Amino acid sequence: MRILRLAAPVLAALGVAVAFAPAAPRAEPTAEIAAAIGVPLSLDAHKIKLGGALKAPEAWRAYKKRFIAEQGRVIDTANDQVSHSEGQGYAMLLAVAANDRPTFERLWGWTRANLMVRNDELVAWRFDPQHRPAVGDMNNASDGDLLIAWALAEAADYWDDLPYRMAGRRIAVELSRKVVLFKTKIGALLLPAVAGFNASDRSDGPVVNLSYYVFPAFARLDSVAPEVDWDGLTQTGLDLLEASRPTPQSLPADWIALEGWRARPAEGFAPEFAYNAVRIPLYLAWAGVGERAHYAPFLAWAQRAKEAPPIVDVLTGKDVGPFGGAGIASIGALVACVVDGAKLPGDFSASKANEDYYPATLHLLALLAAQMRYPSCLTN
């Protein structure tokens, strides 16, 4: 069943202002956006199991060699060799998709030993091997928790492993208890972490990051935590995406403040569509959710500079500069596949040489999403 967004009038009736403040006057949709909105879009949000879905053994081997240490730590090569819960979760998902259980075990073992050091079932967000203690901040990151729980749920299903299932359940349930606000005016709201983003923490709070709404995870986590309203989280994510982008290019900022239920760029963060928000179209496409209007601005963004799509100031609509890493462009190619059936490049299944961890990971995830949901876009 495809999940639909609430239209802007409905959001307004709920008290959610659909404009940034302060904001540049909203421009008329560009020709590219208008054209994309008019393209028939056929999405299928049925639940697809991830196990064994990655059909790119050479790309997976190259990824492991470059970014996964022998003990199971995923190394962020562009960020002082640190590790994050997000990176552990991405690699665990890719290991299940590649049917690589030994690597999955190493990843999960390292995560459990080094990042699950809080006094609950959630995961500390950052590990820095150059400092002592290596985990200097005990806060979590909800996207990392979601990715790890999802990977455990997929591993449990694919390899028929009860301990994985129970571990995934513990993380998912704890996340719902400590990070999700279920009874807000706009529905279930996912905070980025336990501490620092609620209305009690910030004058412009609550603050959300829409790239933390991992839509394909929501679709599968009911296998381990069926009592959680994952569909409600999906719906709220789509509604917030609509509410947050009456901007010159209709693109959402990385960090969005909802004080007074009025969406605007969060204080203390650059008002940019950048390295966080770029994952939103990937997750939409991977889950097969949304409507044409959700995808159209991302398609227009990608088509303006296919090889090096830009970071955008959402208030002015001006390009700030190109994203680093060719892997970012893979998301644009995936969106073109989803919206108009465009074939992916012939070398899409190959690893990107000399890429750092983050763009290389996004490229491999985009390939996995295409192989799972959009095989017709793959070049034969």
* Catalytic center residues: 86, 143
CA gyration radius for the chain? Answer: 19
- Closest C-alpha among 337, 352, 287 to residue 48: 287
Place of tokens 């070398």: 347
- Closest C-alpha among 282, 293, 287, 285 to residue 230: 287
Structure tokens at 297: 């601005």
Q: CB count, 10 Å around CB of 169?
A: 21
3-state secondary structure of 126: strand
Structure tokens at 131: 């400092």
Q: How many residues are there in the chain?
A: 380
Alpha carbons 196 and 358: distance in angstroms, whole number: 25
- Closest C-alpha among 272, 278, 376, 356 to residue 321: 272
Q: Could you say which DSSP state residue 378 is in?
A: S
Alpha carbons 298 and 320: distance in angstroms, whole number: 16
- Closest C-alpha among 244, 241, 258 to residue 315: 244
Strands 187-190 and 83-84: unpaired
Tell me the sheet residues that pair with 321: 311
Angle, CA 289 vertex, CA 284 and CA 293 arms, to 5°: 80
For residue 150, give the amino acid letter. Answer: W
